[in-house]
Amino acid sequence: GDLDKVVNLLLSLSGRLARVENALNNLDENTSPEERRTLVEKQKLLTQQHEDAKELKENLDRRERIVFDILANYLSEENLADYEHFVKMKSALIIEQRELEDKIKLGEEQLKCLTDSL
């Protein structure tokens, strides 16, 4: 459960940080100083939150290694390999699921825009 939450948190923060950085990079000379300052503050906050989330992931990885070491005493090599594969695939599938959800959302937004333009 913690793995799901931490991976989703990292993905969410990474996406939000990327959007803010893109907005900052696309500011023109007509942008008000207040708007620029707001984006910079948001970037700093998201950067700190992302660093905190990476620390959570590192702690989770340490816990995972401890659990793996404990299970190594009780499971056969085959079962231990299955467990290790499960944990690795779970993270990969969470990331893939998030990417697919983002693509679906983008597709729905594009479809709405196309429908509205007709």
What backbone torsions phi and psi does residue 74 show, to the nearest 5 degrees? -115, -25
Reply yes or no on whether the pLDDT at 1 is more than 80: no
pLDDT of residue 104: 92
| Cα–Cα distance, 90 to 60 (Å, whole number) | 14
- How sure is the predictor about 2, in pLDDT bands with cuts at 50, 70 and 90? confident
Distance CA 8, CA 15 (A): 11
- For the entire predicted model, the pTM comes to 0.72
User: Measured between alpha carbons, how far is 79 from 19 in angstroms, rounded to an integer?
Assistant: 42
pLDDT, tens digit, 9 for 90 and up, residues 73-84? 999 999 999 999
Could you report the per-residue pLDDT of 85-114, keeping only the tens digit for each? 998 898 889 889 988 988 898 889 889 888
Instruction: Compute the CA torsion angle 81, 84, 90, 93 (nearest 10 deg).
Output: -60
Per residue in 28-74, pLDDT (tens digit) is 888 888 999 999 999 999 999 999 999 999 999 999 999 999 999 99
Q: Is residue 23 within 8 Å of residue 39, measured between CB atoms?
A: yes
- pLDDT tens digit string along 8-32? 899 889 989 998 998 888 888 888 8
